[in-house]
Structure 1
């Protein structure tokens, strides 16, 4: 035992004997591979021996900026002697100020610099001052110059924030052409893909960012959020577990609560959101989730107190109206629920689930129209079904797979579930967002009700081949589909790709 202890001590001493130069070299390698936390540890050790080394100070500042630490970056930058400052010193200082909410100071440091990197920082500073028009002008001016991936990526986020998803996609594509491996490019690509409903592409972008930039909070939390949207709760929890040693704040707390909600673990939902209540006070989604947990745990009155102000501010929100109605029903206030939910009765395209909730409120409150409302809720109006079908079709055409899935789920809930077109399209959409097992199940159902349809055969066959679930059966289906529809280019391409493997 003593011998083992002696060996352990010797190994510890050997590790501590690394020279400052070795620690500095390792820090540089870690920085180049985007492992900023590892670089930070070695830089601290190297700077302890050489506190005034300008190269180490510069690297420490850049590493701190990459980690979002403006205070540490500023401290190191100010210690670099003027004659050894890097050419982009002003840009680094401006970014450090921005990370400390110093918009005015950042603008002062930037001065008249009109380069694309400076225009990016100027736009962000102006956004910090709530000058959207000035920010838009700075972004647009910077985008006209030499392609700068960071500017284009941030411009894409800004466009998305303003509801211009098409411009955001164009800007992301330009950023990818300029520097596809940059973390800003990867993250903006993922965010725009999420907004477009292309969750499989968003997940791939986040996954690439996580692998290329270990420990990046935005990439990890983004990946967890998309997995949650896809209903892949177990994988979401695995990602969240990797964030245990990262201070993620409110965003990670909300994702943890969302994950617990997926398991119907309402006690955990409440405890997580309660512990982060102050940080999440402005997050309506978190407040709605909190209210849902309170209803589930038998505290509907507290839920009502949270939801009523939200509905007052957002009367057009169907989600808030729906959840407040549920809370009112849970507290025995049928009349209040009826008043909250009544607007659903005047909408020809109202979802049948909302009409059922309204009918229940009418029954509890003793409203004379309860029977009529219950009958109305049993069957969707032709307008409601047509609107949902149109919504699903539009989503499929624009490749907004997430919205398509939601629309088809609503259709399947109020029909006999045997329409092969709906089932086939649901299979396509589920496959596109990465839910392969579910997609194959829908493909099998579609084939059951349309056994001779070439498009249905193609969908299921391609899913089986791509996933490797049953390559032999998939190839057989694609071959038969090609024979039935020899002029269909998509089927020919799928068959060609399948036979190559």
Structure 2
């Protein structure tokens, strides 16, 4: 059964009965009496009945239009007044005056100017009113001189006599000229005569809104809403102010009123989005802004907020598209420009971000928020000196800004200045009363420096900021874990999960402890605990699937990934991981289907297109791969990452010239884009174009004088030519520019090749002492000590590395081998078995554990592991020697001889060469 409002039925019935029983004149008189009593709805009903009987009566239309104006229903008034004018009613200009008001009530400023015109036949009052409304429209459109002209004409029309709408036009002009005080004085003068005059209250609210007094603006909007409870502007203005003041419940009440009065109006959806955005509900805010744009695609501020919502949700690519549209239409809006630059920096398009900010950065205006982003951009570009300049400038302008202080810490960390980074993060944490990334970095850097006391102190400071926060409690457990106190760490993590069952990091940490102790099933249950609290927790599903995958349980992993993809259809992670497993199983058609699904759901995502290209590559369809990446470039022509991805596909297809062109395009977009620099250099070396490689290195040194990359490439050309002594100096220059552990390790390697082993080792020791957190350099030192036979020294260094990275299977493996060489078989086995639990398919780990099993006489297990290792490391003579030993042990002499021949014939040195030669002699037929 169709439901119809009973009140509507009664109203319609009333109109029918009225029209049947009373004349138009009678109904008009009743309407006037209802109007005099303030009963506007009843007056409207009587007038509509009258018009039904006399539809060509223009005077009735005029009166009804005025009633609608009195009820602030400009759209309905416009309809009736248009009909009155079409019927030829002039009324000495009073119809046009009412029409001007109807258009003004709707905010139709251009229509007011185009349609509300005066005539010499109009009476002075009507002329003044029409001119005043035209003046208000000119002021709203920014045409102040024409607004002043309208004001002068209106004053002249009434011989200077005062009229509220004319006086309020003068107030409007004063506001436009920046004199809010004078404007408010005019408004209050008008209100002395009529305190509840809508026009005065509306203009007062507009004036107060422009001041910094938010509470006064709320009061002004409240006064207006008492007169007109569903006023669109007042509801929007007050709800905006409430949300800025954090009074979200009151803001929501105004939004609900908007929904009831203007359900399908785009402003209703926009304001709903604004309130949700202020509350931090970015997902639902985004949906509201998208509804706004579906109704009004040209709503610029909805486009801005759409972009910002995407940005805060971590969708930088989508944010960039929305913000690009906004800035192209409103290039002078600094917020839009700043948000666009932020998105571009997150997309590693820092050069373009600097282009977007250039007008502001070059203006000389004090804009520390832009200086901060410029610091970020130059940091990502590798120009650390310029980054430091902009961040220093920003800090001088805002010395108490914790975000800037934290970014200085990140910059110092990039420059290898861990001590300065620690100080910066400490300042940032102190300045920020709430938890921030600086607090976390302070803990982690102290852990890296093995300063457990300060790490604990930093955690305690975090606990004061956020008592009971699971993140902080988890970090306290991490400190215990790094100290080797696994039992205490496990207690902390278990308490976190007891209080917050879906807190995944604690479950991951417990799983790490379980795996180190060989408790595989217990580790799995940790993830299942999280899923019991949140069955569709995407990260838990992905991690558990990865766990099953490492154990070779691919079918179980697929079930979990299908579940994640179904629960999170727009997420790329589950499908990407699923495609990887399907490729591993050789199910290429299924892999292609999943990759195509990812592209359909994420048509503008570079990652989705890369996934599809990956499938095409494994299928051997190189041309399809190149075409897919070409499509990626078409979607993101200014993205250096897209050009690099295309170059990678072109190189794989043998299209070296095209690959070089793509890489140079990437570098044209961003000179310091490291992936493009590295791939172009590799391409030139691969083609043996050493002159071009040297020229490229020189170009980088000239264009990026503060970057180490040009010096590194210069050194690597010399290494490729085996001119090791010539490579040392540019590598040392690079190390001066970027004091990182990776570079220190590489300098050591090159100096050893150049015959400077002894002094190189001494310098490496000093480096590790000065930079205790540089694990790569420490690992290099341990490796060097192993080669010298200093096994006790190597054990000491590997232990430090493993304590800093307890989940690193290579660190555990190397420590196991060092213990073995030092004669400690018990510890060697413990760490080797721990390494295999962390990485069961790692060939280096299998080689170590297999050899240790062989030493213990556990031949079957040794053979299985050494066979796996040798099959994956055919170019490592020491691994093939180990496999040969176990083959000889079980009497398989022919395969053993083949393995030994391969090891000795490789031309590569290895420490057990003499033993390999001796074993081969014993196996000769």
- Please give the TM-score of this superposition, normalised by the length of structure 2: 0.35
CA distance in 2, matches of 1:97, 1:151: 18
Contact 2:266 2:295 in 1 (8 A): no
Higher mean alpha-carbon deviation, 59-68 vs 288-297, is at 59-68
Cα deviation, residue 264, structure 1: 3.5
Contact 1:110 1:122 in 2 (8 A): no
Given candidates 398, 405, 422, the residue that maps to 1:355 is: 405
DSSP-derived class of the 1:82 partner: coil
Cα deviation, residue 291, structure 1: 0.8
Given candidates 139, 148, 157, the residue that maps to 1:98 is: 139
Q: Per the alignment, do residues 118 and 220 of structure 1 end up closer, same or farther by CA in structure 2, a change over 3 Å counting?
A: farther
Query: Are 2:288 and 1:238 aligned?
Result: yes
Q: Per the alignment, do residues 136 and 279 of structure 1 end up closer, same or farther by CA in structure 2, a change over 3 Å counting?
A: farther
Could you tell me which residue of structure 2 aligns to residue 310 of structure 1?
Answer: 360
Could you tell me which residue of structure 1 aligns to residue 230 of structure 2?
Answer: 181
CA distance in 2, matches of 1:413, 1:229: 31
Residue-by-residue CA offset, 1:315-349 (whole Å, 9 max, x unaligned): 65553233222112122221111122125767774
Contact 2:132 2:166 in 1 (8 A): yes
Cα deviation, residue 132, structure 1: 4.5
Given candidates 268, 272, 275, the residue that maps to 2:318 is: 268
Alignment of 1:68-147 (within 5 A): 68-78=107-117, 82=122, 85=126, 88-100=129-141, 101=143, 102-111=146-155, 112=160, 114-132=162-180, 134-147=182-195
Residue-by-residue CA offset, 1:421-469 (whole Å, 9 max, x unaligned): 999xxxxxxxxxxxxxxxxxxxxx9xx79xxxxxxxxxxxxxxxxxxxx
RMSD: 4.7
CA distance in 1, matches of 2:184, 2:95: 36
Could you tell me which residue of structure 2 aligns to residue 379 of structure 1?
Answer: 426
Contact 1:322 1:341 in 2 (8 A): yes
Q: Which runs of 5+ in 1 are unaligned?
A: 1-17, 389-410, 424-444, 450-501
Query: Are 2:333 and 1:289 aligned?
Result: no
CA distance in 2, matches of 1:376, 1:321: 21
Could you tell me which residue of structure 2 aligns to residue 205 of structure 1?
Answer: 254
Number of aligned residues: 383
Cα deviation, residue 303, structure 1: 0.8
Contact 1:61 1:72 in 2 (8 A): no
Contact 2:129 2:166 in 1 (8 A): no
Q: Per the alignment, do residues 28 and 146 of structure 1 end up closer, same or farther by CA in structure 2, a change over 3 Å counting?
A: closer
Cα deviation, residue 220, structure 1: 4.5
CA distance in 2, matches of 1:328, 1:218: 40
Cα deviation, residue 285, structure 1: 0.7
Q: Per the alignment, do residues 51 and 312 of structure 1 end up closer, same or farther by CA in structure 2, a change over 3 Å counting?
A: farther
CA distance in 2, matches of 1:413, 1:224: 38
Contact 2:175 2:183 in 1 (8 A): yes
CA distance in 2, matches of 1:21, 1:333: 78
Contact 1:120 1:139 in 2 (8 A): yes
Q: Per the alignment, do residues 344 and 206 of structure 1 end up closer, same or farther by CA in structure 2, a change over 3 Å counting?
A: same
Contact 2:171 2:183 in 1 (8 A): yes
Could you tell me which residue of structure 2 aligns to residue 393 of structure 1?
Answer: none
Cα deviation, residue 288, structure 1: 0.7
Contact 1:350 1:384 in 2 (8 A): yes
Contact 1:338 1:358 in 2 (8 A): yes
Cα deviation, residue 34, structure 1: 6.9
Cα deviation, residue 75, structure 1: 4.3
Could you tell me which residue of structure 2 aligns to residue 163 of structure 1?
Answer: 212
CA distance in 2, matches of 1:295, 1:82: 62
CA distance in 2, matches of 1:56, 1:413: 75
Query: Are 2:224 and 1:224 aligned?
Result: no
CA distance in 1, matches of 2:214, 2:469: 27
Cα deviation, residue 187, structure 1: 3.3
CA distance in 1, matches of 2:283, 2:72: 27
- Please give the TM-score of this superposition, normalised by the length of structure 1: 0.61
Contact 2:85 2:95 in 1 (8 A): no
CA distance in 2, matches of 1:270, 1:280: 15
Residue-by-residue CA offset, 1:351-399 (whole Å, 9 max, x unaligned): 1x43332122123345xxx3233212443578625699xxxxxxxxxxx
Contact 2:463 2:469 in 1 (8 A): no
Query: Are 2:371 and 1:321 aligned?
Result: yes
Could you tell me which residue of structure 2 aligns to residue 253 of structure 1?
Answer: 303
Contact 2:239 2:275 in 1 (8 A): no
DSSP-derived class of the 2:295 partner: coil
Contact 1:35 1:213 in 2 (8 A): no
DSSP-derived class of the 1:416 partner: helix
Q: Per the alignment, do residues 39 and 314 of structure 1 end up closer, same or farther by CA in structure 2, a change over 3 Å counting?
A: farther
DSSP-derived class of the 2:463 partner: coil
CA distance in 2, matches of 1:381, 1:73: 55
Contact 1:123 1:138 in 2 (8 A): yes
Query: Are 2:341 and 1:300 aligned?
Result: no
CA distance in 2, matches of 1:343, 1:94: 46
CA distance in 2, matches of 1:322, 1:58: 54
CA distance in 1, matches of 2:428, 2:151: 57
Q: Per the alignment, do residues 259 and 420 of structure 1 end up closer, same or farther by CA in structure 2, a change over 3 Å counting?
A: closer
Cα deviation, residue 93, structure 1: 3.6
Contact 2:394 2:404 in 1 (8 A): yes
CA distance in 1, matches of 2:88, 2:302: 35
| Structure exhibiting the larger radius of gyration computed from Cα positions | 2
CA distance in 2, matches of 1:251, 1:198: 22
Q: Per the alignment, do residues 245 and 184 of structure 1 end up closer, same or farther by CA in structure 2, a change over 3 Å counting?
A: closer
Residue-by-residue CA offset, 1:97-152 (whole Å, 9 max, x unaligned): 43453321332244246455444322212333445554344345345543234433
Could you tell me which residue of structure 2 aligns to residue 64 of structure 1?
Answer: 103
DSSP-derived class of the 1:68 partner: coil
CA distance in 1, matches of 2:348, 2:265: 38
